[in-house]
């Protein structure tokens, strides 16, 4: 069977492949610690679950408007307005099947084939495939590793060509935890204004800021009309599987995204929309509770990683990941097979049953990503396994499987 060149050019998500392998090992009775997936370990809000149950009891589970039920669009507009710091009307919001679909719709609605999108490097692993899926051209722009992988505006401007259409900012960042200040965002925004670019602001981790405060580029002068804000409930409300995200944009862009969505996926799942409405009505208490836990776990991870020789880490300002540099251990495997983050991640899973994501998937092969969105005892166990394995590499022989 012939497969299109477009489909063949897009690899599967490393995170989802890793999750499948972890599940396979667990079904086989293996004691695996997974610090791979970016999924909070807390249950979804009780209000959301009860609202979905009540809706399902009615038995009337039908289509909704493609852009979402009016009540949820209004609630999402209120949330995004408050978080981003500028006003959005419900007509400017599209309810999507997770923030991932919102990002894909933003890129598809903004870019014609051959147009370029500037992406953070390192950056979330799905940005580039989303561009490729609509024949846009992903252009990674490296951040400064000495400044937490922040973009230098001069480097950003130097990457712009006549084909450049948009850029993506992710703050707080996956995988680095980078949080841009308002002044830093203003410098990036000026590049967009000077070169007439659209800015896609991925704000899915907005509640989880440990140093400084969250800022959105949409609130900066001259930026509301050239910014698409991406948000949702997967992270802030621990509702990953409910698949509810939001796109907020100038009205013509929101209308275009809604039309495109109507042909691709119709509406987000109707029970999930009612659950999301109840979750938003309950306020920010759920996110605030998780932020307290992630703050504690962040410190646990920082302390443990600081005790590992030749592991280097800048404390993440936000999100719920750590992204330590581990390349000092490359080449130290007894067989000489560990030559990068992919091999190191595979060895950690093989020898001590610890799942982490290789930094190569995000564009930074010197690092690996560990999620701190795991119970304290699980996180501590995983960090102990990592320390044990790295110690065995220093001694010239990998540690045996954990049990």
338 and 377 fall within a common domain: yes
Q: Is residue 252 part of a domain?
A: yes
Indicate if 109 and 21 belong to the same structural domain.
no
Strand 198-202 to 227-232 pairing: parallel
Distances 271 to 54, 176, 233 between C-alpha atoms, Å: 9, 34, 14
Neighbours of 359 (CB within 10 A): 26
Q: How far apart are CA 393 and CA 382, in angstroms?
A: 17
The beta strands (E) that lie in 137-226 are given as 137-142, 164-170, 198-202
User: Do residues 217 and 182 both lie within one domain?
Assistant: yes
Measured over the CA atoms of residue 279, residue 282, residue 284 and residue 285, the dihedral's sign is: negative
What span, in angstroms and rounded, lies between the C-alpha atoms of 253 and 92? 8
Whole domain around residue 385: which residue ranges?
5-43+286-394
Q: Are residues 374 and 269 in the same domain?
A: no
3-state class (DSSP) for residue 171: coil
Tokens 């419900």 correspond to: 90
* Cβ–Cβ under 8 Å, residues 36 and 361: no
32 Cβ neighbours under 8 A, 6+ residues apart = 22, 25, 26, 349, 353, 354, 355
pLDDT tens digits for range 311-360: 999 999 999 999 999 999 998 765 667 889 999 999 999 999 999 999 99
Q: Do 382 and 355 share a structural domain?
A: yes
pLDDT band for position 18 (50/70/90)? confident
Give residue-wise pLDDT tens across range 163-195.
999 999 999 999 999 999 999 999 999 999 999
CATH number at residue 380: 3.90.1150.10
Domain CATH code at residue 192: 3.40.640.10
**DSSP-derived secondary structure for 249-283:** --HHHHHHHHHHHHHHT-SSPHHHHHHHHHHHHT-
The pTM for the full model equals 0.95
For residues 207 and 264, membership in a common domain is answered with: yes
Same domain, 109 and 221: yes
Distance CA 350, CA 347 (A): 5
pLDDT at 399 over 60: no
Task: Give residue 26's pLDDT.
Answer: 84
In a domain, 31, yes or no: yes
- Per-residue pLDDT reduced to its tens digit, 99-136: 999 999 999 999 999 999 999 999 999 999 999 999 99
Distance CA 10, CA 130 (A): 9
pLDDT value of residue 122: 98
């Amino acid at each position: 069977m012939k497969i299109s060149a477009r489909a063949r050019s897009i690899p599967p998500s490393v995170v989802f492949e890793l999750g499948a392998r972890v599940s396979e090992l667990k079904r086989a009775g293996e004691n695996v610690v997974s610090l791979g997936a970016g999924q909070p370990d807390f249950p979804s809000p009780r209000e959301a679950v009860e609202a979905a149950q009540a809706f399902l009891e009615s038995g009337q589970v039908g289509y909704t408007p493609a852009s979402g039920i009016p009540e949820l669009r209004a609630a999402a507009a209120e949330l995004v307005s408050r978080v981003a710091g500028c006003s959005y009307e419900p007509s400017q919001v599209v309810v999507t099947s997770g923030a991932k679909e919102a990002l894909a719709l933003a890129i598809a609605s903004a870019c014609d084939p051959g147009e370029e999108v500037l992406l953070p490097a390192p950056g979330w692993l799905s940005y580039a495939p989303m561009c490729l899926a609509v024949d846009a051209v992903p252009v990674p722009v490296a951040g400064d590793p000495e400044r937490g992988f922040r973009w230098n505006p001069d480097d950003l401007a130097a990457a712009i060509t006549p084909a450049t259409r948009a850029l993506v900012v992710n703050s707080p960042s996956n995988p680095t935890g980078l949080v841009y200040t308002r002044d830093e965002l203003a410098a990036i925004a000026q590049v967009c204004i000077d070169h007439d670019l659209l800015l896609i602001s991925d704000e899915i981790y907005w509640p989880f800021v440990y140093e400084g405060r969250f800022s959105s580029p949409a609130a900066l002068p001259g930026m509301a009309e050239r910014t698409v804000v991406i948000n949702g409930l997967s992270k802030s409300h621990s509702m990953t599987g409910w698949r509810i995200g939001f796109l907020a944009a100038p009205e013509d862009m929101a209308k275009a995204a809604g039309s495109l969505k109507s042909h691709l996926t119709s509406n987000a799942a109707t029970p999930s929309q009612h659950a999301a409405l109840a979750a938003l009505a309950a306020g920010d208490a759920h996110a605030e509770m998780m932020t307290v836990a992630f703050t504690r776990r962040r410190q646990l991870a920082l302390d443990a990683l600081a005790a590992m020789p030749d592991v280097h880490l800048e404390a993440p300002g936000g999100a719920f990941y750590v992204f330590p540099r581990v390349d000092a251990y490359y080449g130290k495997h007894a067989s000489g097979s560990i030559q990068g983050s992919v091999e190191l991640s595979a060895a950690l899973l093989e020898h001590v049953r610890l799942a982490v994501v290789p930094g190569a998937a995000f564009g930074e092969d010197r690092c690996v990503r560990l999620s701190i969105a795991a119970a304290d005892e699980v996180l501590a166990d995983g960090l102990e396994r990592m320390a044990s394995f790295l110690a065995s590499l220093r001694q010239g022989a990998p540690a045996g499987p954990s049990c």
